[in-house]
């Protein structure tokens, strides 16, 4: 059986990402914490064994991903993401730990390269697993891509927060002049790391499940309000805003991204205003529905309707209709059929 392009590209992205992170781990284990070269045989064996097990599990999960490409189910896709992200975050935890323990001068280029790799591979893998290309209506495809853009931006936001744990904290041990920058306690770094890990694991799975339930034609069940926008509002726009604000104001951490601070403030304002507008529209619709239900139908002109009924019974049009016609249009009456069967339609339109 020939694998589909979706499986080939997703496997290529996962294997290349794991290989690069393995190179970082092997380089750190061979140099050691103090910059001295040491044996890395056991580390290499452990990394290779973990990668072989991951590839074996990936083989069976990928078959399920292909079967779910044109269905609303996303069980295997979520399993694929969970398996990949769990192993990746485990390796990144040891990378962060080794960077914190080493005594040699930091290499900012290598650390930023790792951040760049993750910011490309993780969102691209998520977009591949959504299966947006299998959606046949073009309008629906564009709508889903607009929703996916918010998820990708949230993933980049979380990755930026997590990347601050392994990127170099320049000037932390600077001289006596100026403000002294406090180093983050290890419990704060651990809390931020596992919070980002939970978000990277949870948010894409929620988005994949909702897109799988509504993204395919013929799968529109009862309308349910989407969970992802509210989950993103609380976990991304509020909590990460608080974490960045605490790191910038309390610990004076220079790695805090002020760009994503502004993004979260703008996203918070946009989402809250959209929720308020939707709430006002629902209240207006409910009020209009109650008013329409209380009013009787077609009770505005009872006398006119009774006159029209009598005219229909006699086989002629009502007198009020002839009164509205001008003398210049009276010669056209001979061409108009005023039979009793057509009178209700004409009187209704006039």
Dihedral sign from CA coordinates of 155, 161, 163, 166 = negative
* Secondary structure (3-state) at 297: coil
Task: Count Cβ atoms below 10 Å from residue 197 Cβ, excluding itself.
Answer: 19
How far is C-alpha 227 from the chain's CA centre?
A: 10
Instruction: Answer for the pair 184, 253: CB distance below 8 angstroms, yes or no.
Output: yes
The candidate with the shortest Cα–Cα distance to 73, out of 223, 220, 213, is 213
What average pLDDT does the segment 305-330 reach? 48
What is the Cα–Cα distance from 275 to 265, expressed in whole angstroms? Answer: 15
Alpha helices in the chain (DSSP H): 5-31, 41-67, 75-101, 108-130, 138-163, 186-214, 228-232, 239-249, 258-294, 302-314, 319-323, 343-349
At residue 338, the pLDDT reads 41
Select the more confidently predicted residue: 346 or 222. Answer: 222
What is the Cα–Cα distance from 101 to 97, expressed in whole angstroms? Answer: 6
At residue 147, the pLDDT reads 82
What is the Cα–Cα distance from 17 to 117, expressed in whole angstroms? Answer: 7
- Locate tokens 């139908």: which residue? 297
Query: Please, what is the angle between helix 75-101 and helix 5-31, to 10°?
Result: 20
Q: What is the DSSP letter of 326?
A: -
* Secondary structure (3-state) at 3: coil
Structure tokens at 169: 């904290």
Select the more confidently predicted residue: 174 or 152. Answer: 152
User: Percentage of the chain with pLDDT > 70?
Assistant: 62
What average pLDDT does the segment 76-94 reach? 88
How far is C-alpha 346 from the chain's CA centre?
A: 53
What is the Cα–Cα distance from 173 to 183, expressed in whole angstroms? Answer: 9
What average pLDDT does the segment 330-343 reach? 45
* Secondary structure (3-state) at 257: coil
For the chain, the structural domain boundaries read: 5-169+182-217+225-288
What is the Cα–Cα distance from 17 to 198, expressed in whole angstroms? Answer: 19
At residue 326, the pLDDT reads 47
At residue 12, the pLDDT reads 87
- Locate tokens 């939707």: which residue? 278
Q: What is the DSSP letter of 260?
A: H
At residue 6, the pLDDT reads 73
The candidate with the shortest Cα–Cα distance to 104, out of 25, 30, 33, 40, is 33
- Average pLDDT score over the chain: 73
Residue 155 has pLDDT above 60, yes or no: yes
């Amino acid at each position: 059986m020939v694998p589909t392009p979706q499986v080939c590209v997703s496997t290529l992205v996962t294997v290349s990402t794991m290989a690069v992170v393995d190179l970082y781990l092997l380089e750190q284990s061979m140099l050691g914490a103090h910059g001295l070269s040491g044996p890395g045989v056991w580390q290499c064996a452990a990394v290779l064994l973990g990668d072989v097990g991951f590839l074996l599990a990936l083989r069976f999960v990928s078959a399920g991903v292909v079967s779910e490409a044109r269905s609303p189910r996303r069980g295997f896709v979520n399993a694929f993401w969970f398996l990949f992200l769990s192993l990746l975050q485990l390796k990144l935890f040891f990378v962060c730990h080794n960077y914190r323990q080493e005594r040699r001068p930091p290499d900012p280029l290598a650390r930023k390269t790792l951040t760049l790799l993750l910011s490309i591979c993780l969102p691209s893998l998520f977009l591949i697993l959504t299966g947006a290309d299998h959606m046949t209506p073009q309008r629906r495809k564009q709508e889903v891509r607009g929703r996916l853009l918010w998820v990708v931006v949230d993933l980049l936001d979380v990755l930026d927060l997590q990347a601050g744990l392994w990127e170099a904290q320049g000037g932390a041990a600077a001289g006596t002049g100026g403000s002294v920058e406090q180093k983050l306690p290890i419990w704060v770094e651990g809390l931020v790391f596992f919070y980002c890990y939970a978000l990277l694991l949870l948010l894409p799975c929620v988005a994949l499940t909702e897109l799988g339930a509504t993204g395919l034609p013929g799968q529109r069940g009862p309308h349910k309000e989407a969970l992802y926008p509210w989950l993103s509002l609380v976990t991304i726009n509020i909590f990460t805003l608080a974490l960045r604000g605490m790191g910038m104001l309390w610990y004076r951490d220079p790695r805090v991204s002020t760009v994503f601070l502004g993004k979260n403030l703008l996203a918070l304002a946009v989402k809250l205003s959209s929720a308020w507008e939707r709430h006002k529209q629902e209240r207006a619709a409910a009020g209009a529905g109650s008013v329409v239900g209380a009013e009787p139908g077609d009770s505005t002109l009872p006398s006119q309707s009774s006159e029209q009924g009598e005219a229909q019974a006699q086989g002629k049009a009502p007198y009020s209709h002839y009164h509205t016609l001008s003398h210049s249009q009276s010669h056209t009456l001979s061409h108009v059929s005023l039979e009793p069967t057509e009178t209700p339609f004409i009187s209704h339109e006039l």
